[in-house]
Chain A
Amino acid sequence: MQIKNLTCVECPMGCQIEAGVENGVAVYVKGNTCPRGKLYAENEVVRPLRVLTTSVKCVGGKMLPVKTDKPIPRDMMLSLMETINGVHPTLPVHTGDIVINDLYEGVNLIATKTELN
């Protein structure tokens, strides 16, 4: 068994987590303060997931902050940035509106700000 030391990034506490890994999956997780830390560690040893946040240029030039509505694989972030930067939404946009539907396996890109004009 391989032991992996991780820092949970789910909240500012940044708990130090130890995960025991066998055949590519976590067989135990310790050091997490809450259940989200366990889930984080289990994903982290298989394929790290992150919420991607960025901004896109709207028609007219204004920048709109956006994020994925669920975490995506970390290794997909840079390639998805190309798709995202090719999109130019038209205002008005409200917080929570979908900017790209099904960006990656059912995960949408949504606006995180209301911009009316």
Chain B
Amino acid sequence: MKHDIVIIGGGPAGLAAAVAAFDGGVKDVVILERGEELGGILNQCIHNGFGLTRFKESLSGPEYAERFIDKVRERGIKYYLETTVISLDKNKTVKAVNPELGFFTIEAKSIILAMGCRERSRGALNVAGTRPAGIYSAGTAQKYVNVKGYMPGKEVVILGSGDIGLIMARRMTLEGAKVHAVCEIMPYSSGLKRNIVQCLDDFGIPLYLNHTITKIEGTDRVTGVTISEVDAQKRPITGTERHFSCDTVLFSVGLIPENELTKSCGITLSPKTRGAVVSQTRETMERGIFACGNVLQVHDLVDFVSEEAEIAGRYSAQYVLNGEGVYDFLDTQAGDNISYVLPQKINKGVDGNVKLFFRVKNTFKNCTIRIKSGNEVILERKKKIAVPGEMETLILTADKVQNLSSPVTVELEV
């Protein structure tokens, strides 16, 4: 079959991209979703706090998703559920499989990658000890409790203080479990401050910074863990061991963009974001293939995912309607104390402001963030506090973009 725009992923990014592409003038848009329903990960994020930027209300994940699902339905945008994309190539041919159609092929004019991200696994962490049952990623536990209605355990220790881990500390406590500790190897939490307060402090759950799990015990089922403080090189310090009896260990140690398809298609990825290299239109280095949301960069807030997806949707529609535009790229780069900058390319052939997203490497107080083009400072902002857990943004106005002649660097000075 043939479709103008194929969107891979029906989570928040795919939904917002579909609506924006449709409203941008392309009516033949189809969403391919792996799960049994639209909404993606939002369906299991039943806590509130979504949509404050976008809707000026505090919504739960499913409520936020429903606002976009309604828009998709109102427009009659087609979607296939339980559909796994098997391959994707540079000619924009998508091969997929689902129970209804079996194996099928779609030739698209433009593709939007919106596959989201997955959790880093315990395997990537190398914790010593046995491999008993009772070890879950925080997101898996979230799905069990919230969607399947089943508690993975009663006595819990959480490794990593990512937002999902913090949210699950509260969630399991509310459902009657005892969460003994959250331990974080870094000197700061990677979660939002509000989640430290409302998920840990509210329930008296201790957060051990500069700590990691050094041993997991149990043969069939987890029976306990040992945590230790780490030194500046992240090596456990002997003598600081602390033992907890528990039947469950949750890992919340970060998210990685889900880019197997992107890679197999040969699309250039950034080693820093682990997502595709894109320009401000969210077009990858393959013409007509766009990427948005957590498959591109792991966002803190779904509101920003929607915003980014709308950019991708709009430009994907323009690509279908007008064909290739003008490409005149300048690189962006991460300077001192900055871990990455997105977009990695600024296309001067595209009108309008460019919003730069970036993360800082550490916690900084009273610092200055600067954007330079070559040696020339083009924008400067003072910040009282900047933390790695919260994405920073700065806008380069259209006139500034037009005057750029050398690569753009974002740097932070203390």
- Residues of chain A whose beta carbon lies under 8 Å from any beta carbon of chain B: 7-12, 14, 48, 50-55, 57, 61, 63, 65-67, 74, 77-78, 81, 95, 112-114
Place the interface of chain B in its size category. Answer: 20 to 34
* CA distance in complex: A55, B301 (Å): 22
Residue B232 at the chain A interface, CB threshold 8 Å:
no
Residues in A neighbouring B198, C-beta threshold 8 A = 9, 50
* CA distance in complex: A84, B145 (Å): 15
User: Can you identify 14 A-B contacts, CB atoms within 8 angstroms?
Assistant: A7-B193, A7-B197, A12-B300, A52-B174, A53-B48, A55-B147, A55-B149, A61-B149, A78-B174, A81-B175, A112-B46, A112-B60, A113-B63, A114-B66
- Contacts A51-B58, A63-B149, A114-B66 given; does A14 touch B193 at CB 8 Å: yes
* CA distance in complex: A93, B171 (Å): 23
Q: Is the CB of B58 within 8 A of A113?
A: no
Q: Is the CB of B194 within 8 A of A14?
A: yes
* CA distance in complex: A53, B63 (Å): 12
* CA distance in complex: A68, B110 (Å): 43
How many contacts between A and B, using CB within 8 angstroms?
Answer: 79
Q: Which of A51, A55, A74, A95 contacts B63 (CB 8 A)?
A: A95
Residues in A neighbouring B175, C-beta threshold 8 A = 54, 81
Residue B157 at the chain A interface, CB threshold 8 Å:
no
Residues in A neighbouring B193, C-beta threshold 8 A = 7, 14
* CA distance in complex: A112, B58 (Å): 11
Residues in B neighbouring A7, C-beta threshold 8 A = 193-194, 196-197
- Contacts A7-B194, A11-B194, A54-B46 given; does A74 touch B202 at CB 8 Å: yes
Residues in A neighbouring B300, C-beta threshold 8 A = 12
Closest to B52 in A: A11
Residue B146 at the chain A interface, CB threshold 8 Å:
yes
Residues in B neighbouring A51, C-beta threshold 8 A = 48, 58
CB distance from B280 to the nearest CB of A (A): 24
Residue B49 at the chain A interface, CB threshold 8 Å:
yes
Q: Quick one: which of B52, B63, B176, B196 has the most chain A CB within 10 A? A: B63
Q: Is the CB of A65 within 8 A of B202?
A: no
Closest to B39 in A: A113
* CA distance in complex: A62, B197 (Å): 31
Closest to A75 in B: B202
- Contacts A54-B46, A112-B60 given; does A95 touch B66 at CB 8 Å: yes
Closest to B63 in A: A112
Q: Is the CB of B52 within 8 A of A12?
A: yes
B194-207 interface bits toward A, Cβ cutoff 8 Å, 1 = contact, 0 = none: 10111000100000
Residue B47 at the chain A interface, CB threshold 8 Å:
yes
